[in-house]
Amino acid sequence: MKIYFTRHGETEWNKIDKIQGQLDSPLNENGINMAKKLREKARNINFSHIYSSDLNRALDTCKIICPNKKIITSPLLREIDVGYWSAKQFNDIKKTDPYLYNLYFTKPEKYNRIDGESFYELIDRVKRFFELYVYNSDDENILIVSHGITIIAMFTIMENIEIKNFWQNRVRRNAEFNIAEYKDSKFTILKKAPLNLVNNI
């Protein structure tokens, strides 16, 4: 199986460096165009199944990439839940919550919050998706449209990375394909999208 997985197109909040988490902001014009370009890249790929986060920015991207196709939505593919950080500016969070902010980026294995998810919880959630739709599937190609941090979680699982090294991978550009192969119970990374220039979650 080949797994094509991508982050949603650019949103209004992405552009102004505002944290989204499990809140949502719409695709902007650039984000819509990004998704259209990815549709062209995907037009000769026959996806056996198409999966999307149920958050609108991912689902809208997926609908542009694969118009008139059946899309299976799953909350398991949502972005990490960052609690009250959602809809805040990164610079503001760095000032108002420096301890948790520092844990998030430098000690992810110790990051935890009562109003959201830890990285352990995020990775367990993504593993549940793989258990449902990947590990026992005989599909040839699948598409997954998800989110920046969730895609890092996918790489963490695929590359068997310890959570303390979670940020070994970083947020990838919007609407660019990452590609992995799953064969004989083993993941092989075939392509990583270029890195994003800012931290958007």
Asked if residue 56 belongs to a known ligand binding site, the reply is: no
Classified as helix, coil or strand, 104 is helix
Asked if residue 12 belongs to a known ligand binding site, the reply is: yes
Pairing mode of beta strands 49-53, 141-146 = parallel
Asked if residue 8 belongs to a known ligand binding site, the reply is: yes
Asked if residue 173 belongs to a known ligand binding site, the reply is: no
CA gap 10, 30 in Å, rounded:
6
Q: Could you tell me the sign of the dihedral formed by the alpha carbons of 22, 28, 31, 35, in that order?
A: positive
Bridge partners (DSSP) listed for residue 189: 180
Asked if 5 and 126 touch (Cβ cutoff 8 Å), the reply is no
38's enclosing H/E stretch is helix 29-42
Asked if residue 7 belongs to a known ligand binding site, the reply is: yes
Bridge partners (DSSP) listed for residue 144: 5, 51
Sheet order of strands, 72-74 included: 72-74, 49-53, 141-146, 2-7, 178-183, 186-191
- Binding-site members for substrate are 7-14, 57
- Binding-site members are 7-14, 57
